[in-house]
Amino acid sequence: MPRRSRLLAPVAATVVVIIAALMFAANFWTDYKWFSAVGFSTVFLTQLWTRVLLFAVAALVMAIIVGASIFFAYRARPGVRPMSLEQQGLDRYRQSIDPHRKLFFWIAVGALALLAGAAAGGDWRSYLQFVNATDFGTADPEFGMDVAFFAFVYPFLRILLGYIYAAVILAFIAAVIVHYLYGGVRLQNDSGQRATPAARVHLSVLLGVFVLLRAGSYWLDRYGLVFSERGYTFGASYTDVNAVSTALVILTVISVICALLFFANIYFKNTMVPMASLGLLVLSAVLVGVAYPEIVQRFQVGPNEQRLESPYIERNIEFTRDAYDIADAEVETYDATTELTPQELSAAADDIPSVRLADPSVVSQTFQQMQQVRGFYQFPDVLEVDRYPDENGNLIDTIVAVRELDGPPDDQDNWLNRHLIYTHGYGMVAAAGNLIDAEGRPVFTEYNIPPRGELSDVVGEYEPRIYYGREGADYVIVEAEEEYDYPLDAEEDTEDVPTLDDAVDASPSPSADEARAPADSEDGESPAAEESPAAEESPAEGGEEDADQSTSQAYNNYAGDGGVQLSSFFDRVLYAIKYQEPNILLNSAISSDSRIIYERDPVERVEKVAPFLTTDSSPYPAVVDGKVVWIVDAYTTSDGYPYANRIDFTQAVTDTFTDGTVQQVGTLPGNEVNYIRNSVKATVDAHDGTVTLYAWDEEDPVLKTWMGAFPGIMTSRDEMSDELLDHVRYPDDLFKVQREIMREYHVTDASSYYGGQDFWSVPTDPTNETDRPEPPYRQTIRYPGEEDPNFSLTSTFVPRGRENIAAFMAVDSNPNSDDYGQLRLLELPRSTVIFGPGQVQNAFDADADVREVLLPLEQSNAEVTRGNLLTLPFAEGLLYVEPLYVQAGGGGAASFPLLQQVMVGFGEEVAIGSNLQEALNNLFAEGEAPLDEGGEEPAEEEPAEEDSGEESPNQDLTDALNEAVEAWEDAQESQDEADERLREALEAIEESMNE
């Protein structure tokens, strides 16, 4: 082989190693600089030194155990090997290995040590929880040990035992190989002695250590019974406590005896002793560990399961309710009324809070069209619901979002524009949840660029630039090139913005006495059947054409402290390697004053500075203390709470508002949890990226454990400003998890739980074509028995296998209330059938009056969208409210949904109206004595004089109209047959009108 070819492989390998080392070094050092810049360097260093410690210990233990085994096997090789064909074949291998045996030894031991160390480094969370464990103050009923043992200590002991197991097994395999290569162990031997005495002693000791470890594992398995899935419920069952636990004690004793027999073989040096020990161990494991518990389960528990399992079901119920923080839920039997008279409605009218009809998943399109301003700005598909005060200081449900930058215009999407010019979004956008304008558009309380509106008047001036958000490039470099700030002609593009001056109330409210329904058009058609002026032309059109004209846009230089300063050429080299981008080195505008901003997603920033937390999937922006901040709810979780039922976190939080790709639970290897607390409220400054972690639940033992591991990173909740506290809300994902658990664990009686007949289900979203659960809704409701309405998160349940409603669940989401976080359950009587969400939706679709309104829209070119189906307590019953949006067909990207109708349901009755007040009038007055806007019945008219028996002209007109409608409907099915009837009906209408 030519010399050049022989050198090619080593040179290529060296280059690969150098590149890998540079990439590792760049990522490592830039991570450290990022943690230092954000103020959480202790998190980085604690993780680093913990990983190094675990790596070193695991690698050293593996190297010592395996290396010592190989060394003793080599030292115990026979001096004279018998001549045989087997040994003659092995001689060739020995002759090849012997000159390099030390190299092979260190390579083998080093490789195993590296693998063990790398694996151990990944268990740093378990180690930190083990050394910083904090008691829960709750004892396990079976062993009397604090829950902390099972949550923090037990998992680490299992991991530790597993590593020692692996080391002993590998040591045994290595010993067998070395003994075989050097003649200590033979597969063929005429004398019948297949192993030398020294080899038998060596292997017996290793097997003895292995069996002794097995004894420790059996003993530890007793505590693991609290996580058993053998019984009717999760946790130790009757069989586990009365059979498996006893069997594990017996197996522990037998294993210790077998281990002693293996160690005794050092003296006997006989193959029969270890073989007998292994046989005894296997036989006892089968008979005692498997057969005995199976017999008890099948023949004792099976026929008497309910009676024998009841105490253990009670444990499961108690611990599950504690683990998911639903033990203190208030449960009230709610004999919901299904019928109301107009007088009762009038008495209850003032109790209707301002209903949030704006659906966050529908009005996103309206935000996009009316407030996008330029095509490169972006709003999320599902907006968020917060609370802001109106001009009178009353808190109202508000739809909020920030105008984020998705990237430069498509025809200008290059590295310079994406990473140095188009660096940030601009401004907060907000709309009142209960108001619309005359065309059905949401009423904006914060809008345009620069931002203005009632929200600005209330909260004052604030920094509108959004450098940290959920959209945009993975990194941007500021204080280099001039940055695109906002279009100067933005006001011209958003002139037709509905504000409070244009508002009509979409729902009855004590604070809105002058509410009026949108006026119908002169031809009687809904204004949404045709495109509204705002929908005829997208506000964003033409924006990108002016993007490069210096006279039409403002520029800005970043003035914050966010990001990592590129203080030296070496820093630029590191980031050029990290992002594999040479332009970071070549761009002359980047200087020592420039900053690189990355990890821009607020959720990812919180997860990185607090890797032990699980973040909520719905962060939301708020204007707080003169700046826009992202508020991120974060959870401490565990899968080690004894007896508590485990659930899949991702599956539990998936609904029609989520796509099913929720981030993995932070502290667990999988997504299963059986303990959760909203222990941390985090904020991320949208301008400079500052992350603040507030210890919201300072009594949580899991949070205390992590605070012991990472001291100083949490801020006391007492340091939250009043303005920030006003925007704290109960988190979505926690409520969904609790809702999932409440389906079964609202049952607290063991016998009833065993029967399962009272279990519930979360209804599927009837307004959506998917089969995902209905999302919980944020709305202000007046809970039965309460004087004031509360900002709440609500959901419903239906009986398992049926569709009528079983319960209504709400949680107080107002942080200034003493009842914040209080779960409340209205349990409806099983003897009364009350429509659930799916049944109400079917009633809407089947009702003749509703169809009469919807049919012309559906037959036209318009697109009808059903908004969120809200459920709220009302007049000692449950009221369903669903807004209907109409979007002009053929409008393409320039059209957007307009709220045109509201459907309501109470009991088995449904109705529709142009707003909520009108819909309620139609629902309860049954078309005979409609309520006026104040909820009162109109004065009765004097009875008309008796006619002569002939039908009045009005009656003739009504009959003719009915005939026309019927003929028109028939015409859709049989055009030829119904044309003549339609013509005759129209002639009758004309005659009646001429009379």
Q: For residues 422, 428, 429 and 433, what is the CA-based torsion angle, rounded to 10 degrees? A: 150
Single out the residue of 415, 403, 416, 404 nearest to residue 451, CA to CA.
Answer: 403
Encoded tokens for 751: 């016998």
Q: Is 593 helix (H, G, I), strand (E, B) or coil?
A: coil
Q: Cα separation of 701 and 714, whole Å? A: 14
Burial zone of 236 (CB within 10 Å; 0-12 exposed, 13-18 middle, 19+ buried) = buried
Looking at residue 5, its pLDDT comes to 62
Looking at residue 994, its pLDDT comes to 53
Q: Is 154 helix (H, G, I), strand (E, B) or coil?
A: helix
Looking at residue 891, its pLDDT comes to 54
Looking at residue 908, its pLDDT comes to 86
Q: Cα separation of 463 and 627, whole Å? A: 5
Q: Is 698 helix (H, G, I), strand (E, B) or coil?
A: coil
Q: For residues 23, 27, 29 and 33, what is the CA-based torsion angle, rounded to 10 degrees? A: 150
Mean pLDDT by 10 residues, the chain (995 residues): 64 81 90 95 96 96 95 81 56 70 88 95 95 95 96 96 95 90 70 74 91 95 95 95 95 93 80 78 90 94 94 96 96 85 69 82 91 89 91 87 89 91 94 88 90 86 94 93 85 68 61 36 38 35 39 85 93 93 93 94 96 94 95 96 94 82 56 94 96 96 97 95 94 96 95 92 89 92 87 94 92 91 92 88 92 84 89 90 86 76 90 89 61 41 41 48 53 52 56 53
Give tens-digit pLDDT for 216-257: 999 999 999 999 999 999 999 999 999 999 999 999 999 999
Question: Order of strands across the sheet with 475-478?
Answer: 475-478, 595-598, 564-565
Q: Is 397 helix (H, G, I), strand (E, B) or coil?
A: strand
Q: Note whether 523 and 485 are within 8 A (CB).
A: no
Compute the residue count for the chain.
995
First to last CA, the chain: 114
**Which residues lie across from 504 on neighbouring strands?**
436
Looking at residue 508, its pLDDT comes to 56
Give tens-digit pLDDT for 338-365: 777 777 776 676 667 678 999 999 999 9
Looking at residue 686, its pLDDT comes to 96
Q: For residues 356, 357, 358 and 359, what is the CA-based torsion angle, rounded to 10 degrees? A: 100
